[in-house]
Amino acid sequence: MTELAPGLLLRPAHFSRTQQEAIVDAIRDVVRAAPLFTPTMPRTGKPFSVRMTNCGPLGWVSDRDGGYRYQAAHPVTGGPWPQMPAALLAAWRELADFEAPPEACLVNFYAADARMGLHVDSDEQEPRAPVLSISLGATCLFRYGGLKRNDRTKSIKLASGDVVVIGGPSRFCYHGVDRLYPGTSTLVANDSRINLTLRRVTPA
């Protein structure tokens, strides 16, 4: 485990190839029950380049009129989110150092040309809980900064099987994904990347 900044822990290659394949299989089942949707920006309605779905009791969604929020229903099908796979709950218990279970697992699906702009994750009501991030498939160039948008940023590559725990003073730092690197993984087809973020949403 490397501490990249206070409260920001990187565990390279936490998951073996076999474990990564099992997680991708479980996420395929999630996507079958809760299809990927394209979130849109509050007010402008501009679509994200990343497609998303969720598992667990709550899911993160965004659209022009309702903005960023967590809700129990899929925004397109209206159905409940599927259960969180046991392997993800186990990773939270092992690495999150938090007393209550995660309520949302946001599944981000990056096609080869997708990006995520610099932002802060602040829609959760339990600031003491970390966010646990699992990277699968293509390596990405990840950028993180400080508590203010204009603070100096650092860049790191996140590869398939890497886990990042974002807690403590780093919990509300700006971060984003600048690019993917093609040809870096055979786990997910078409040089795509899947990122899972486990989150506690309501106060524990």
Q: Indicate which single residue of 9, 34, 55, 116 sits in contact with ligand MD3 (rule: CB under 6 A).
A: 116
Position 192 contacts ligand MD3 (CB under 6 A): no
Residues 101-130, interacting with Fe ion (CB under 5 A)? 121
CB of residue 132 to ligand MD3, shortest distance in Å: 8
CB of residue 32 to ligand MD3, shortest distance in Å: 21
Beta strand 104-110 with 140-144: parallel, antiparallel or unpaired? unpaired
Q: How does DSSP classify residue 178?
A: E
Q: Indicate which single residue of 40, 54, 108, 160 sits in contact with ligand MD3 (rule: CB under 6 A).
A: 108
Classified as helix, coil or strand, 170 is helix
**Do 201 and 58 meet the contact criterion of CB atoms below 8 Å apart?**
yes
C-alpha span between 140 and 149 (Å, rounded): 21
Position 8 contacts ligand MD3 (CB under 6 A): yes
Residue number, 177 or 188, with CB nearest to ligand MD3: 177
C-alpha span between 186 and 200 (Å, rounded): 31
Position 144 contacts ligand MD3 (CB under 6 A): yes
Residue number, 121 or 178, with CB nearest to Fe ion: 121
- Helix or strand holding residue 94 (H, E): helix 86-95
C-alpha span between 119 and 131 (Å, rounded): 14
**Do 123 and 106 meet the contact criterion of CB atoms below 8 Å apart?**
no
Position 63 contacts Fe ion (CB under 5 A): no
Partner in contact with 144, chosen from ligand MD3, Fe ion, none, beta carbon below 5 to 8 Å by kind: ligand MD3
C-alpha span between 45 and 48 (Å, rounded): 9
The residue assigned the tokens 């970390």 is 130
Position 27 contacts ligand MD3 (CB under 6 A): no
Residues at the site binding ligand MD3, with contacts judged by CB under 6 A: 8, 106, 108, 116, 121, 131, 133, 142, 144, 164, 166, 170, 173, 175, 177, 195, 197
Residues at the site binding Fe ion, with contacts judged by CB under 5 A: 121
